[in-house]
Amino acid sequence: MSALFPLELAAVSFRPNGQEVLRGVDLSLGGEGITVVLGPNGAGKSVLLRMLCGLLQPTGGTLRWGSAPGPGREVAMVFQHPMMLRDTVLANVGLGLKAHGVSRQDRVARGHAMLARIGLTDRAGQSARQLSGGERQRLALGRAWLTRPRLLLLDEPTASLDPSGVEAVERIIREIRTDGTKVVMTTHNLGQATRLADDVVFLADGAVREHAPVQRFFARPVSPEARLFIKGELPWHVGF
């Protein structure tokens, strides 16, 4: 197993300016499978993902990536609105490799192979900025996947995609997992959580209320907050 795991959070808090965004988060994540982070708007899911890739530091507690000193290059993150350079689809899919010092010739070869895997072969020479939302998301996943991260963080990878776009992205996420990458992702789509997750972390009000295997989480949620959330009846933080 990679030195990155287990990811260990102990009493992690995030209070950037007095506002308590995360509090007392204890969490241990192994290097296998797909962990889905669920919770209402404002629960702290995106903040948690940003911490796991080192973009935000806890203001209290400790966060450890196995025996590694920090997240390093084995951790990649894909945001909800992935950045596309004003360049071709092929150039954009190879961007991460460029940062890893891979030669142009190799980037082209590996980029084409990846475009085939994500169904964008016939778009290789087009401007990436002309892609639809679903195509951009596939491109961003392929770009991250090409760098072979041990840990891939995905923040709402299918928000605003239509059903066939969702299905295409879910298929790619499954393949990335089968390839040996640990995935930690957020979603508001509970069907997606049941289709993809091995385990579920349920956050509410900045705290982890539950961390359980997916079937157990949906069949027998332990915390009252999770029960209400699954029923769609969470009474707080609806985002107004």
Q: With respect to ligand ATP, which residue has the nearer C-beta, 49 or 196?
A: 49
Residue 45 binding ligand ATP, by CB under 6 A: yes
- Compute how many residues bind ligand ATP; rule: CB under 6 A: 11
* CA atoms within 13 A of residue 165's CA, in its CB half-sphere: 15
SS (H, E, C) 42-97: CCCHHHHHHHHCCCCCCCEEEEEECCECCCHHHEEEECCCCCCCCCEHHHHHCHHH
Contact 223, 25 (CB under 8 A): no
Give dist(CA 145, CA 176) in Å, integer: 7
Candidate residues 38, 44, 71, 157; the one interacting with ligand ATP per rule CB under 6 A: 44
Residue 57 binding ligand ATP, by CB under 6 A: no
Give dist(CA 120, CA 89) in Å, integer: 8
Question: From residue 24 to residue 43, what is the string marking binding to ligand ATP with x (rule CB under 6 A)?
Answer: ---------------x-xxx
Residue 46 binding ligand ATP, by CB under 6 A: yes
Q: With respect to ligand ATP, which residue has the nearer C-beta, 42 or 61?
A: 42
Token pair listed for 95:
């961007």
Give dist(CA 134, CA 13) in Å, integer: 34
Give the shortest CB-178-to-ligand ATP separation in angstroms: 27
Candidate residues 35, 44, 46, 111; the one interacting with Mg ion per rule CB under 5 A: 46
Candidate residues 9, 12, 21, 204; the one interacting with ligand ATP per rule CB under 6 A: 21
Positions in the binding site for ligand ATP (CB under 6 A):
16, 21, 39, 41-47, 56
